[in-house]
Structure 1
Amino acid sequence: MMRTRPLKVALLGCGVVGSEVARIMTTHADDLAARIGAPVELAGVAVRRPDKVREGIAAELITTDATALVKRGDIDVVVEVIGGVEPARTLIRTAFEHGASVVSANKALLAQDGAGLYAAAEEHGKDLYYEAAVAGAIPLIRPLRESLAGDKINRVMGIVNGTTNFILDKMDTTGAGYQEALDEATALGYAEADPTADVEGYDAAAKAAILAGIAFHTRVRLDDVYREGMTEVTAADFASAKRMGCTIKLLAICERAADGESVTARVHPAMIPLSHPLASVREAYNAVFVEAEAAGRLMFYGPGAGGSPTASAVLGDLVAVCRNRLNEATGPGESAYTQLPVSPMGEVVTRYHISLDVADKPGVLAQVATVFAEHGVSIDTVRQQGKDGEASLVVVTHRAPDAALSGTVEALRKLDTVRGVASIMRVEGE
């Protein structure tokens, strides 16, 4: 039987995502009520610009006083889509204190203070759901913390930023340079006027922190995630990748150490074989590849951003939280029982693709090989091409600690015969 008293929802933020959440709540009201077991009512919408016309939202629901809205006491669920750390953190904590559960899409806040939010939710016996914070419409958070809760996850590797994937895909398929591909992404609305958060990897790093925390049942903060942007990736890098049967993606990689005693989380561009499922992810799509002990290899794929896809994830959480409210229950909270340390990037074992500009004369290759040997890094393949006294030397290594590889590169820069290090890129997915 359906309960007649509606569950009241407060919406914080009414931009691209918030307005779509409000629209779906209105147009699909009957379906949502049937799925939940009670009607849901939009009780208030907090915005910064109250004079802006918002189609489908009654004027009396609009307020600029977000704090008063979450303090009302009759609100069952607060949906937070304003982003940023403050005032979102204070508003969410206030919502818990005044009896509301929370659905959030705020990756930055969760990556920085997820533990504090979990603690506040538990203290007040309320839900904290955030499916939309990592990969838009792709169901990922719930499978990791519920469907795979009985399994041991060893690795999560994915493309979690649509802007960067669009740019790299265009560079790969059309031969465009970085700036040309970025300009196209901006014109199509995939890139912001200031794309720094995307192209420098900050957005992906926040998502990596969230994924690592859930996958490995430990606390991983944004500061724990190693980050490199993709602005230095060139057409020459893609040409080298193609010669190796690879392409280049900006990857978020979260791994459990072989001994199980630590974890790592990192974001950086990497070459991956064309045979890997992530290599075929095109345009602005996202995909996350999960390796679990019992389940094996799983891939989650779909649109990772945008108003409608993100709103879909928000509404999925809203339905789940509302059901919990009716049943006087809560969903899963924080699982950080392992308390595993996060190892620094230097301890990560990986492969490198290094392109050097060198003098075209006898003995150069021997000098370069000696530097690799002195740092304990084994060479897999070498390709050399020379002309008019100049040469390019491309070295692909076997797996070695990142610190050893970095030390090798620094020593190579000091050789008189090395004119410059043209490119350094990790090789993953093999």
Structure 2
Amino acid sequence: MVNESKLFQSFWWWLLLGLLACAPGSTKLAGAGWLVLALVGLYRFARFFPIWWTQRAADPLTRAASVWLAFVLAAFLFKAIGVTYWDDPWKTRHFDLRMLLSAVAIFALASRVTLTREKLFGLGVAMALAAAVGMSVSYLHVNFDMDTPSNRINWAGGQVMLSWVLLSVALDKDNSRLLRRLALAGFACFWLAVLMSGARSAYLSIPWVGVVILVLTLTRVERERRWKWVASVVLGIPLLVAAVATVAPSVVEVPAGRIEIAVEEARAALADKDDPARNVDTPVGARIYMWQKGMEKFMQSPWIGYGREQRIAFIKAWGEESDAHIISDQFHLHSEYINGMVDHGLVGLASTVAYMAGLVVVAFMLRRTHPLMALALAGIAFTHITMSVTNANSQTNNYSVIFGWSLMTLFLFRSGALRREPVAASQ
């Protein structure tokens, strides 16, 4: 293992940390930070790839990064088939291009970079500050009606992904107590930001918090044979929710209100066509209507779909047919799966699912050697899988940037934390 901490000398390292800390507050700063890290990784990848590829089997992290790169490359190639066949514009495929660059950078970083404890601590502080920035953005959004830096759905999804990274840092007993506390505080701030954002798709990740609590509880009981911790969890969670609802009522009121509205809109959209209460001109109603119509179109052309231009034409026609202005204003089908199937059929679906399958496979590979990293990767996978049901986040710029940030920072934390090669920060 060759230490490449020289890649992160003073100026560039502080620049990266500053951009990461500001990422939830500005899409431009988030994009700039992602680009710097991706280009550094791309440069190292191009220079040392032959050596790394022959040595990848020796190191679990490098092997996992190579598998992730293979899945992302497969997703990109599947997408290229559909784009080429229908002559879709490549400029609309920024998600796939960014994910490919991120995967290349991750392979390079996992193979060549070992951060010192000082730099790991700095990275943790930057992410905790990012969480505070994210919480501030959501507070201003809910109390002063200020817009989030990008669409609040994909923005909130990015905050959830970053939270899983910090959770893995908080649970790592090899980290300092201060770093673990900062990471735990950052995890909480990210989730406060998500809950206040009103982004219902991001709320779909809440069950994974329950899964994490359950896994940690069972692990603790198995190791210590003590049930007192279970009682603490069972009693502590309701008390924590009650305390948060008292101190910051919007954290509970916003999600509760948004979910109630979604249920009402779904009922109206699913009513019989002759029912006067039927209404698809709502966010949830428009989704349900487009999903139904999209699946009908997919069944008529399942192999290669219709292409981007025809998909948009379908949406406009459905808007007129249903007299729903909210549908007419859309350009995608608000489902990653159905959008991919209508665009490029089963080939498009294969591209969509490849990213999800890659995350799941890599998490499974690392479950024994890097269990906390596997837990974080599984969380990121769960978030991407569930959010893709009700949204087409690949159609936005910010989502792929924060997606990439999450994976790259996770690999940086693990590469430094588990290799423990104490090299002076100035080297």
The structure where helix makes up a greater share of residues is 2
- Could you say which structure has the larger radius of gyration? 1
TM-score above 0.5? no
The structure where strand makes up a greater share of residues is 1
Report 1 or 2 for greater relative contact order, CA contacts < 8 Å, sequence distance ≥ 6: 2
User: What TM-score do the two structures reach when normalised by structure 2?
Assistant: 0.24
